[in-house]
Amino acid sequence: MNEFFKWEYVITLFPKVLSALPTTLLIVLFATLIGSFLGLIIAYCRIERIPVLNQFSAVYVSFIRGTPILVQMFIVFYGLPSLLGAIGIDISMWDKLYFIYITYGLSTAAYFSEIFRSALSSVPNSQYEAAASIGLTKWQTYRRTLIPQAGKIAFPNLGVSIVNLLQNTSLAFSLGVLDIMGKVQTLGALYYRVLEGYFIAAVIFIVLSISLEKVFDILERRINAPKRIKQNNVQPLQLDRAEAALTVQKNIK
Partner 1 sequence: MDFDFAFMFEAFLAALHYLPTTLLLGFLPLVFGSIIGLGIALIRHYKIPILSVLFKWFVTIFKAIPVVLILLVSYLVFSDSVDKIADSLSWSIRFSDLDRRWIAIFALTLYATSGLSEIFRGALASIPKGQIDAAYSIGLTNIQVLRRVMIPQVIPLALPLLNNTLISLIKASSLVSMVSVVDILNGALIEANVNYRYLEAYIAVSLIYWAVCAAIEAVTAGYGKYANKSRRRQFA
Q: Which is nearer to partner 1, 115 or 171 (CB)?
A: 171
Given a contact cutoff of 8 angstroms between Cβ atoms, the answer to whether 89 and 98 are in contact is no
One character per residue 210-239, x = contact with partner 1 (rule: CB under 8 A): x-----------------------------
Report the nearest approach of partner 1 to the CB of residue 162 (Å): 13
> In 10 A of CB 139, how many CB atoms?
8
Report the nearest approach of partner 1 to the CB of residue 14 (Å): 16
> What's phi and psi for 162, nearest 5 deg?
-70, -35
Report the nearest approach of partner 1 to the CB of residue 36 (Å): 22
Indicate which single residue of 202, 223, 239, 245 sits in contact with partner 1 (rule: CB under 8 A). 202
Q: Which is nearer to partner 1, 214 or 221 (CB)?
A: 214
CA-nearest of 205, 174, 211 to 99 is 174
Given a contact cutoff of 8 angstroms between Cβ atoms, the answer to whether 45 and 53 are in contact is yes
Indicate which single residue of 19, 55, 62, 137 sits in contact with partner 1 (rule: CB under 8 A). 62
Report the nearest approach of partner 1 to the CB of residue 40 (Å): 23
Q: Which is nearer to partner 1, 136 or 191 (CB)?
A: 191
Give the whole-angstrom CA distance, residue 158 versus residue 209: 14
Report if residue 72 touches partner 1, rule: CB under 8 A.
Answer: yes
Give the whole-angstrom CA distance, residue 181 versus residue 187: 10
> DSSP states of 153-214 as a string?
HHHHHHHHHHHHHHHHGGGGGGGT--SHHHHHHHHHHHHS-HHHHHHHHHHHHHHHHHHHHH
Indicate which single residue of 8, 15, 51, 71 sits in contact with partner 1 (rule: CB under 8 A). 71
Give the whole-angstrom CA distance, residue 66 versus residue 101: 20
Query: Taken in order 53, 57, 59, 60, is the CA torsion positive or negative?
Result: positive
Given a contact cutoff of 8 angstroms between Cβ atoms, the answer to whether 92 and 85 are in contact is yes
Report if residue 86 touches partner 1, rule: CB under 8 A.
Answer: yes
Question: Which amino acid does the sequence have at 12?
Answer: T
CA-nearest of 66, 81, 72, 79 to 105 is 72
Q: Which is nearer to partner 1, 37 or 63 (CB)?
A: 63
Indicate which single residue of 91, 189, 206, 225 sits in contact with partner 1 (rule: CB under 8 A). 206
Indicate which single residue of 17, 20, 34, 69 sits in contact with partner 1 (rule: CB under 8 A). 69
Report if residue 79 touches partner 1, rule: CB under 8 A.
Answer: yes
Report if residue 19 touches partner 1, rule: CB under 8 A.
Answer: no
Q: Which residues bind partner 1 (CB under 8 A)?
A: 1, 4, 62-63, 65-72, 74-75, 78-79, 82-83, 85-86, 167-168, 170-171, 174, 181, 194-195, 198, 201-202, 205-206, 208-210
